[in-house]
Amino acid sequence: MTETPTAMTDSPAAVADSRPLDGSAILSNAHRIAPLLRAHAAEVEAARRLTTPVVDALRDSGVFRMSVPRSRGGPEVDLLAQVEILEVLSRADASAGWCAMIGSDSGFYGAALDEAAGRELYPDLDAVTAGWVIPAGQLELADQGYRLRGRWSFGSGCTHADVIASGALVTEAGVPRLGPDGQPEWRIALLPVTQVHVHDTWYTTGLCGSGSNDYSIDDVFVPAGHTFALNDIKRDESLYRWPGLFIANLVAVPLGVAADALDFAMQALAVKTVMPGMTPAREEARVQVGVARAQAMVGSARSYVYDTLGNFWAVLESGDEPSFAARAALAGCFVHTLTTCRDAVQLLVETVGTAAIQRGSSLERNLRDLITISQHLMGQVKMREWAGGLWFGQPTPIPYL
């Protein structure tokens, strides 16, 4: 921790700490700490979690408070600025960028709660949230709340988190309770990390340093006010008007990783000599074509992100409800960005050659990280199917698309 948590009161002035950070300041801080993140990347990967210097640097940068409402002393950074900040961090290290993206959900989740509950769970503007919102547990009805139990996967950042989010189905006497739509009621419980058991399970291809372990909770009481449904919209500010914005900044991570891969490839190819002809690699047509394709793939994906998210943000700013077309574009943008960045870096590996397959090469790690990122729900074929359905006015089975 880089500062002593400050208890929140009803006064917005009282909740603001001595470092009032806006989006511009957080972006500047992201650039400042990027060399540290890069220097610690190998250590983070070996540790399979973010190390203390990296966590402290991220916390001090203000990235974890990006989504905290201004009414609670936070900067309430707009969506496109969040993407830019996370791109910088992910370009330095994918695991750090991924955990920053996940950890900054604190503001979104806290904003879904009533004021008193939000301040109770998040007394520190830089508190970190981790967890899985998919309903893998049970919330059994109890007096003034629920009893929570279950086991969840992919708890990215749980090794340094303050609050854990856990998606669960509401049950009554063990039987799922149905909502107004006739479907099982799905809520997300928020509780201190001290009430959670983290299992050492994160052995994976990429994002090795994200500490995305399984975690379990065994019959813990959760006050009703510390739970919410994804479609609970309690605030009028643009950042909280659409339930899916907590995941929308995910696209920044593959963009940052792919940008780093392009940097490595250009540097490596600029000095490489191709055997046996002793030809400079940069003069080979195969290399030139590979670089041109990869640059265009990453550049077009980035342009599509900023265009799509910018249009979606403009709708929210206007106060209108996002149309099926806007939602379709957003869903399609997720899967397009994740898979295109992965494919571009695979192309760069093939173009660079043996220097790209050696452990310790940043390009080798870039590819492993993107292979892992593209396995996220946002990068799967079913996301393309849901995006296509939205184009035809068909709602998705999850409430944040």
- The string of pLDDT tens digits covering residues 61-80 is 999 999 999 999 999 999 99
Mean local confidence (pLDDT), 295-310:
98
Burial class (CB in 10 A: 0-12, 13-18, 19+), 273: exposed
CATH number of the structural domain spanning residue 30: 1.10.540.10
Q: Could you tell me the pLDDT band of residue 355, with boundaries at 50, 70 and 90?
A: confident
Query: Do both 263 and 205 map to the same domain?
Result: no
Query: Do both 263 and 369 map to the same domain?
Result: yes
Query: Do both 110 and 136 map to the same domain?
Result: no
Query: Do both 245 and 381 map to the same domain?
Result: yes
Residue 90, pLDDT above cutoff 60: yes
Residue 38, pLDDT above cutoff 60: yes
Mean local confidence (pLDDT), 253-269:
97
Q: Could you tell me the pLDDT band of residue 19, with boundaries at 50, 70 and 90?
A: low
Mean local confidence (pLDDT), 307-320:
97
Query: Do both 78 and 158 map to the same domain?
Result: no
- Please list, in sequence order, all residues whose beta carbon lies within 8 angstroms of the beta carbon of residue 290, skipping any fewer than 6 positions away: 347, 348, 350, 351
| Average pLDDT of the residues of the chain | 93
358-375 pLDDT, tens per residue? 888 899 999 999 999 999
Burial class (CB in 10 A: 0-12, 13-18, 19+), 71: middle
Tokens of 163: 């609050």
Count: domains in the chain: 3
* 213-223/279-280 β-pairing: unpaired
Query: Do both 385 and 344 map to the same domain?
Result: yes
Contact 338, 381 (CB under 8 A): no
Q: Give the pLDDT of residue 195.
A: 97
CATH number of the structural domain spanning residue 268: 1.20.140.10
Residue 172 lies in a domain: yes
State how far the alpha carbon of 301 is from the alpha carbons of 211, 340, 385, 399, in Å. 28, 7, 19, 25
Query: Do both 103 and 147 map to the same domain?
Result: no
Domain that holds residue 169: 129-228
Query: Do both 194 and 259 map to the same domain?
Result: no
Q: Write down which residue in 62, 86, 121 finishes a domain.
A: 121
Q: Write down which residue in 182, 204, 228 finishes a domain.
A: 228
Secondary structure (3-state) at 265 = helix
The pLDDT > 70 percentage for the chain reads 95
Query: Do both 268 and 287 map to the same domain?
Result: yes
Q: At what angle do helices 362-373 and 94-103 cross, to 10 degrees?
A: 40
Residue 3, pLDDT above cutoff 60: no
Query: Do both 158 and 255 map to the same domain?
Result: no
Residue 12, pLDDT above cutoff 60: no
Q: Give the pLDDT of residue 7.
A: 33
Distance CA 75, CA 64 (A): 11
